[in-house]
Amino acid sequence: MKRAHSMLIYSRGEEIRGAVPELTTMIGLAAGVLTTSCWAPQIVRSYRTRSTGDISWAYVGALGAGVVLWLSYGTITGDVALIAANIATVLALGSLIFLKGRYDRQHAANPPGRIGAVLLDMDGTLVDSDAAVERAWREWAREFDVDHATIEPVMHGSPSDTTIRLVAPAMTTTEVEVAARRQLELQYDDVGDIVLARGGRQLLQRLAATGLPWAVVTSADCRLARARLDAAGVRPPVLVTVDDVSAGKPDPEGFLLAARRLGVPIDRCLVVEDSAPGAEAGRRAGAVVAGLRGLPADVPVDDLAEVAALLPAA
């Protein structure tokens, strides 16, 4: 009887010891899921506000160290569920670190108190006119027997005559003028699908609320600029077109003229661009440049809502 009783105790002990790791795994898994879910609202809030100023790097570092220790423990013990849970936490923390690094760099490069005016490119920046621009160049290429593939990489950002000289260098000055007029004619009435670019409404609302001076500086002529801005429902306080300058982008003349008209020093202006010629013009003028669509610039931004987040609060 004693022998049987001892075996029974041993058997129950094995059951208890076998259940403890399972319980530890469930607790670790629950802790990882809860930690990850706690960070989800912060990640969403940081993305929406384009700011992580309420989180210090010291806090992120301490939390990261704790997560790495938990992950190491799970690896040493071979606890797959614990490892998976902490990997999920690492991914959430990594997303937050990425956002914090991005938005901290944006604000450091252009702190809100430093911005005295905003100078916006039009096509592809303030208004979404890419489809219209591409239709016009495609038809122009067909009419003038130019390979559209040579136009595609340079069709955005520069005045029509500058682009034509690049893709058709054999044209005379008179031929370039005729070809440039035709290219613009193809665009004047093609405004049916022109709309504000993503984040444009938030940016215009922020500009109106703060009273911050702003202007549109475009490589389009006045007629085309007015047509597209009217189609998008935008009336800028100052509009500088290719008609106002002796040289278009990448020459800085347009941005310098806009800054003078606004009465703001160019080094306190934030230029917002989506093309390499425009970004070059902004840098040569002496402004801080925000670049859309992955354009290399002082301040990389995904859309105009991120530009709005850089501006002083109302």
Same domain assignment for residues 118 and 254: yes
Domain match, 124 and 154 both: no
Do residues 163 and 181 share a domain?
A: yes
In terms of residue numbers, what domain contains 40? 2-108
Q: Scanning the structure block, which residue is given the tokens 């100023």?
A: 53
Task: Indicate whether 116 and 151 sit together in one domain.
Answer: no
Catalytic residue among 54, 104, 121, 302: 121
**Is 276 found in the same domain as 201?**
yes
Mean pLDDT of 282-301: 92
The C-alpha atoms of residue 144 and residue 124 are separated, in whole angstroms, by 25
Task: Say yes or no to pLDDT of 16 above 70.
Answer: no
pLDDT on residue 68: 77
Query: How far is residue 61's CA from residue 100's CA, in Å, rounded to a whole number?
Result: 12
Token pair in block for residue 117: 């005016």
Peptide bond into 112 cis (omega under 30): no
Statement: the pTM of the whole predicted model exceeds 0.85:
no
Tens-place pLDDT, residues 120-140: 999 999 999 989 989 999 999
Domain boundary among 188, 211, 234: 188
Give the mean pLDDT of the chain. Answer: 82
Indicate the number of domains in the chain.
3
Label residue 4 by pLDDT band (50, 70, 90).
Answer: very low
Residues 264 and 120 in one domain: yes
Which stretch of DSSP H or E encloses residue 170? Answer: none
Q: Is 101 helix (H, G, I), strand (E, B) or coil?
A: helix
Catalytic-labelled residue, pool 54, 79, 104, 123: 123
Tell me the Ramachandran region of residue 40: left when phi exceeds 0, alpha when psi lies from -120 to 50, beta otherwise. alpha
Q: How far apart are CA 52 and CA 296, in angstroms?
A: 23
- Establish whether 244 is a catalytic residue: no
The question of whether 221 is a catalytic residue gets the answer no
As a whole number of angstroms, the distance between CA 96 and CA 100 comes to: 6
> pLDDT by residue (tens digit) across 132-167?
989 999 999 999 999 989 998 888 877 889 899 999
**Span 3-30, mean pLDDT?**
51
CATH number for 69? 1.20.1280.290
Q: Which of 176, 137, 161, 169 is nearest to 249 (CA)?
A: 161
Q: Is 70 exceeded by the pLDDT of residue 172?
A: yes
Q: Are residues 176 and 220 located together in one domain of the fold?
A: no
Helices (H) and strands (E) in the chain, counts: 12, 8
Query: 235-251, pLDDT tens digit by residue?
Result: 999 999 999 999 999 99
